[in-house]
Chain A
Amino acid sequence: MSKDILLDVKGLKIEGYSDEKWNPIIKGVDLQLRKGEVLGLIGESGAGKSTLGLAAMGFVRAGCRITAGSAMFDGLDLVTAPESQKRALWGTHLTYVAQSAAASFNPAHKLIDQTIGATVRDGIQPRADAERDAVKLYDSLMLPNPETIGDRYPHQVSGGQLQRVMTAMAMSSRPKLIVFDEPTTALDVTTQVEVLLAMRKAVREHGAAAIYITHDLAVVAQMANRIKVLRYGEEVEEAETREMLSNPQQDYTKSLWSVRALHKEPEQSEDIVLSVNNVDAAYGKVKVLHDVSIALPRGKTVAIVGESGSGKSTTARVMTGLLPPSKGSVTFNSETLPNALAGRTKDQLRRIQMIYQMADTAMNPRQTVGEIIGRPLEFYHGLRGRAQDDKVVELLHDIELSEEFIDRLPSELSGGQKQRICIARALAAEPEVIICDEVTSALDQIVQEGILKLLLKLQKEKGLSYFFITHDIAVVEAISDEIVVMNQGQVVEQGLKTQVLNPPFPDYTELLLSSVPEMDPDWLTDLAQKRGMAGAT
């Protein structure tokens, strides 16, 4: 075996305990990593990416067990090694960057102490040296004020900064292997670019090997030398990054970016069904919307794009009446709606429905599908008993589910199924407008495609108008007629899709559009050069 192989996983099988039995999660996967190499692990949720990533460090979550295989790391089999031996490696030679940095930091300690904690504990460097080194790492990760940022507490820095501090923590001990588990999934696209650049630079400078786990092929293309595609706990295929992108062998791999192929021809319409007019809104004393005007044509889709904090969701709350505007008005079918929810009639409420980002929290976990869809039928249309059941079944067919789902609880549904049920609940009210708040961003690419196709079909059949809030340009391309770009509570640009997505762009639109990762391994490098950012090489 070649000497520069750092990690060699062979025939690894992992099982997880649920429903009173052991179910296979990883069904025999091989994985090899050379020193200084970055391997991308990609697949849908439930494919076993995170489980495999952790197992590569010799770690299994509670309720899981390794049943077969080996993981040789630097001459030590992590599968059979005793806990004490592995613990000596964790945090120093093997480090981990979690998806949600905000949830992974201890809020009671300063960032610098957490960054160098393991390094000092294991005596790799004395405290003073480690602190000096951490400042250098902060600097190379392009964090602002690298000398002083370590004195802050986790809640005093932004999510993107925290993610970079976590990377610094993982780098502090000069590990041989870093496992990145979806480190940029929770970040905005513009922040993601910075974090990706910083991480790539840091990994390359220190020659660490890395496993990069993500569901976003475009992101992994920037980071990894090789890509391995996982599905149902098995390897689908593995290849060099460029090879994988230009010539994927398996149909499944091709389907991973199918949502990016969806495209809708935009149509113009002057028949406005819902509009917000010169709206200002505030949470307490903090003003979040400044003179926002948006119009939604009947039977069309308007996509609102922008980063988090740009006021997208607040605009939706103003439309629904949850947040009465301090100035301006909401007009529906040319009549002005009462500002507050309590002032609106049942019929006005019925005509504007909402679908949420997290289908998990949008459905009461104690109610069955029949109850969830049945309630608006009873509430708005007075349907009960047999008639209600019949209508629920009809709606289930509309969303391409069979009638056996009627007795299920939300916990017995997959992510895509849940979002479909939420769509059915909105349809049950027979609305004219549906506000979709990031409805696909929590879903896998393939499932996203299914939901978007369903929404398009329903729009055609029922003449629905959608307000589509999203930060994903691929989704915008797939579903919208018009686009509204928002930044810091203001509308930057508004117009037909063809107009907005073609140059010339206002500065902010340009920044937003260019930050969306592309399926090109050189994209990040080119972008960094264009913007003159550090870490371009």
Chain B
Amino acid sequence: MSDTSKMQPDTYSAASEVGAVRTRRTWSQRAWITLKKAPFSAWLGMIIIAFYVFVALFAPLLAPYAEADSSFAAYAPWSSDHLLGTDQIGRDVFSRLIYGARNTMGIALITTILAFVIGGGFGLLAAITRNWVDQVISRFVDVLMAIPSLIFALMLLSIFGSNAISLIVIIAVLDSTRVFRLTRAVAINVVVMDYVEAARLRGEKLGWIMRREILPNIMPPLVAEFGLRFCFVFLTIAALSFLGVGIQPPTADWGSMVRENASLIQFAQFDLRAGITPLIPAAAIAIITVGVNFVVDWFLHHTSGLRDEH
């Protein structure tokens, strides 16, 4: 007890209190430390995502043939010319697989972003106003969510026609209801904070409060939701394509590739490789979904503030 009094000033001085400086790291240093501590599954997920993004970006360079080039024999077996053979009208399956990454992921990404802009914007608005505006939006969202989304999407697509634009808009609107619910729920906890009241007292406009005071504080759950939502959108598009109302030929897409080559499965007893062919785009869908989930799991655990016991 005696050495305390020597080490520390015993009476109060502003200098000693305000001088207690804690180490400060730059953003990139903190990010790197976080990454270094990421578990194996998260790293695996990140590598998978990076690989898919790479393939999607450089599809024209990586693919041996054009995505709609049907100048080959139909149902050709695996060979050095056609690594995964050709499909029912003689298009190279390997090339279409590579282009499929670009098309399926691109459309899913745009759809997810749009869903977040719509759902996030209205969610923030509802959380801040908490009056009849909130009631109107929330009840409308309840109505949308009451209808099974795949059936609803099928109906809307048959009304508006199956083109990329309506596909994107319809899925984005349907998925934005989930984003709305989440955004509203997390934003309500932030809206009651004193710093939001301080901003209102300062006379700040609604947009500024939404963008600068609330949004940065609800980002972690939204980023995690973005990853999950991307997976769901991806699966919805693949499912719709499989049903024939999603991405339309000749655009390559994993969902429709499964459907188009599905009949090959029954030839597995004669040529195993032919039987595997329709399963490869399905596996591509499964792997990216698992990869994104790995990363999201880790991110959620990391930002939830749960501390591992030591």
Q: Does A309 contact B (CB under 8 A)?
A: no
Residues of the B chain whose Cβ atoms lie less than 8 Å from the Cβ of A17: 307, 310
- Contacting pair A362 B194 (CB below 8 A): yes
Contact B217 A236 (CB under 8 A): no
- Closest Cβ of chain B to A312, distance in Å, is 16
Interface string of A414-425 (1 = CB under 8 A from B): 101100100001
Across the interface, do A320 and B201 meet the contact criterion of CB distance under 8 Å?
Answer: yes
Find out whether the CB atom of B201 lies under 8 angstroms from the CB atom of A354.
yes
Give complex CA distance A412, B22 in Å: 7
Indicate if the CB atoms of A363 and B4 lie closer than 8 Å: no
Q: B291 to nearest A CB, angstroms? A: 28
Residues in chain A near residue B310, CB distance under 8 A: 17, 63, 65
B308 to chain A, nearest CB (A): 9
Tell me whether B148 is interfacial, beta carbon within 8 Å: no
Instruction: Check B17–A361 contact: CB distance below 8 A.
Output: no
Whether A414 pairs with B20 at a CB distance below 8 angstroms is: yes
Contact partners of A400 in chain B: CB under 8 A: 14-15, 18
A19 sits at the interface (CB 8 A):
yes
A258-B12, A402-B18, A450-B12 known; A365+B202 contact, CB < 8 A: no
Measured CB to CB, the nearest residue on chain A to B217 is: A366
Verify if B198 is at the interface (C-beta below 8 Å from A).
yes
Within the complex, the shortest CB–CB distance from A62 to chain B, in Å, comes to: 5
Q: How many residues of B contact A (CB 8 A)?
A: 35
Q: How far is the CA of A454 from the CA of B18 in the complex (A)?
A: 13
B5 partner, pick from A252, A321, A375, beta carbons under 8 A: A252
Q: Is the CB of B12 within 8 A of A322?
A: no
A333-B212 Cα distance, complex, nearest whole Å: 33
Give the docked Cα–Cα distance between A146 and B1 (Å): 46
Residue B4 contacts which of A234, A346, A408 (CB distance < 8 angstroms)? A234
A352-377 contact mask (Cβ, 8 Å, vs B): 1 or 0: 01101010011111110000000110
* Residues on A with beta carbons closer than 8 Å to the beta carbon of B8: 231-232, 252
Whole-angstrom distance from the CB of B211 to the nearest CB of chain A? 12
Determine the chain B residues whose CB is within 8 A of the CB of A367 once the complex forms: 212, 216
Does the CB pair B10–A250 fall under 8 Å? yes
Query: Which residues of B from 5 to 38 have beta carbons under 8 Å from A?
Result: 5, 8, 10-12, 14-15, 17-24, 33
The verdict on A349 contacting chain B, using a C-beta distance below 8 Å, is yes
Give CA–CA (A236, B1) in the complex, Å: 5
Contact of A358 among B22, B194, B213, B217 (CB under 8 A): B194
Q: Of residues 137 to 152 in B, which have CB atoms within 8 Å of A's CB atoms?
A: none
- Check if A449 is an interface residue, CB within 8 A of chain B: yes
Minimum C-beta distance from A181 to chain B (A) = 21
Q: Which residue of B lies closest to A400 (CB)?
A: B14
Determine the distance from Cα of A416 to Cα of B15 in the docked complex, in whole angstroms: 12
Contacting pair A251 B18 (CB below 8 A) = no
Q: Are B1 and A235 in contact (CB under 8 A)?
A: yes
Q: B11: which A residues are within 8 A, CB to CB?
A: 251-252, 255, 258
Interface centre among B5, B20, B194, B309 (most CB of A within 10 A): B194
Question: Once bound together, how far apart are the Cα atoms of A417 and B204, in whole Å?
Answer: 25
From residue 176 to 194 of chain B, which have CB atoms closer than 8 A to chain A?
193-194
Q: How far is the CB of A381 from chain B (nearest CB, A)?
A: 12
Q: A17-B310, A402-B18 are in contact. Are A356 and B201 (CB under 8 A)?
A: no
Q: Report whether B201 and A232 are in contact in the complex, using a CB–CB cutoff of 8 Å.
A: no
Which one, A252, A349, A365, contacts B201 given CB within 8 A?
Answer: A349
A320 nearest CB neighbor, chain B only: B201
Are B33 and A364 in contact, CB atoms less than 8 angstroms apart? Answer: no
Asked if residues A449 and B17 are in contact (CB atoms below 8 Å), the reply is no
Q: Return A366 CB to nearest CB of chain B, in Å.
A: 4
Is B195's CB under 8 angstroms from A407's CB?
no
**B210-248 interface (Cβ within 8 A of A):** 212-213, 216-217
Looking at chain A's contact residues, is the secondary structure mostly helix, strand, loop, or mixed? mixed
**In the complex, chain B residues whose CB is within 8 Å of the CB of A321:** 201
In the complex the two chains form, what is the Cα distance from A365 to B15 in whole Å? Answer: 24
- The winner among A346, A364, A376, A414 for most chain B CB atoms within 10 A is A364
Give A446-505 interface residues, CB cut-off 8 Å to B: 446-447, 449-450, 454
| A404 on the B face (CB < 8 A) | yes
Contact with B along A70-84 (1 / 0, CB 8 A): 000000000000000
* Cross-chain contact A379 with B202 (CB below 8 angstroms): yes
Collect the chain B residues with CB atoms within 8 Å of residue A519's CB: none
A361 touches B12 (CB 8 A): no
Contact code string A289-328 (vs B, CB < 8 Å = 1, else 0): 0000000000000000000000000000000111000000
Among residues of B, the one whose C-beta sits closest to the C-beta of A364 is B195
Q: Is A536 an interface residue (CB 8 A)?
A: no
- A441 → chain B closest CB, angstroms: 14
* B197 contacts partner chain A, Cβ-Cβ < 8 Å: yes
Cα distance A354–B199 in the bound complex, in angstroms: 11
Q: A20-B33, A252-B5 are in contact. Are A446 and B203 (CB under 8 A)?
A: no
Q: Measured between C-beta atoms, what is the minimum distance from A367 to chain B in Å?
A: 8
Chain A residues with Cβ below 8 Å from B23 are 19
Q: Is A341 an interface residue (CB 8 A)?
A: yes
B201-A341 in contact (CB<8A) = yes
When C-beta atoms are compared, the residue in chain A nearest to B192 turns out to be: A361
Do B307 and A362 touch (CB < 8 A)? no
Q: Which residues of A contact B130 (CB under 8 A)?
A: none
Report Cα–Cα, A250/B14, bound state, in Å.
20
Chain B residues whose C-beta falls within 8 Å of the C-beta of A250 in the assembled complex: 1, 5, 10
Q: Which residues of A contact B10 (CB under 8 A)?
A: 250-252, 255
A356 → chain B closest CB, angstroms: 5
Closest B residue, CB atoms, query A321 = B201
- CB under 8 Å from chain A, chain B span 228-275: none
Q: Which residues of B contact A320 (CB under 8 A)?
A: 201
Q: Which residues of chain A have C-beta atoms less than 8 A from B217's C-beta?
A: 364-366
Closest to A363 in B: B195
Cα of A105 to Cα of B18 in the assembled complex, Å:
38
**Whole-angstrom distance between the alpha carbons of A19 and B198 in the complex?**
31
- Chain A CB within 8 A of B301 CB: no
Q: How distant is the Cα of A346 from the Cα of B22 in the complex, in angstroms? A: 37
A520 part of interface (Cβ distance < 8 Å): no
A235, A320, A366: residue with the most chain B Cβ atoms closer than 10 Å: A366
The digit string for A227-243, where 1 denotes a CB below 8 A from any CB of B, is: 00001101111000000
Are A414 and B17 touching (Cβ within 8 A)? yes
Which residues of B are found within 8 Å of A362, using beta-carbon distances?
A: 194-195, 198
Residues from chain B with a CB closer than 8 A to the CB of A349 are 201-203
Chain A residue contacts of B17, Cβ below 8 A: 414, 416-417, 446-447, 450
Q: Report Cα–Cα, A250/B2, bound state, in Å.
A: 9
Provide a sorted-by-A list of 22 A–B residue pairs whose CB atoms are within 8 angstroms: A17-B310, A234-B1, A236-B1, A237-B1, A250-B10, A251-B11, A322-B197, A349-B201, A356-B194, A362-B198, A364-B216, A366-B216, A367-B212, A367-B216, A379-B203, A379-B204, A380-B202, A400-B15, A402-B18, A408-B24, A412-B24, A446-B17
Kindly list 17 other residue pairs between chains A and B, CB separation below 8 angstroms, not including A65-B310, A449-B12, A454-B14.
A62-B307, A63-B307, A234-B1, A234-B4, A252-B11, A344-B203, A346-B203, A349-B201, A356-B194, A364-B195, A364-B212, A375-B202, A379-B204, A402-B18, A404-B21, A446-B12, A450-B14
Q: Which 5 A-B pairs have the closest CB atoms?
A: A251-B10, A366-B216, A362-B194, A446-B12, A361-B194
Report which B residues bind A (CB closer than 8 A): 1, 4-5, 8, 10-12, 14-15, 17-24, 33, 193-195, 197-198, 200-204, 212-213, 216-217, 307, 309-310
Where the two chains meet, the residues of A that have a C-beta atom closer than 8 Å to any C-beta of B are 17, 19-20, 62-63, 65, 231-232, 234-237, 250-252, 255, 258, 320-322, 341, 344, 346, 349, 353-354, 356, 358, 361-367, 375-376, 379-380, 400-402, 404, 407-408, 412, 414, 416-417, 420, 425, 429, 446-447, 449-450, 454
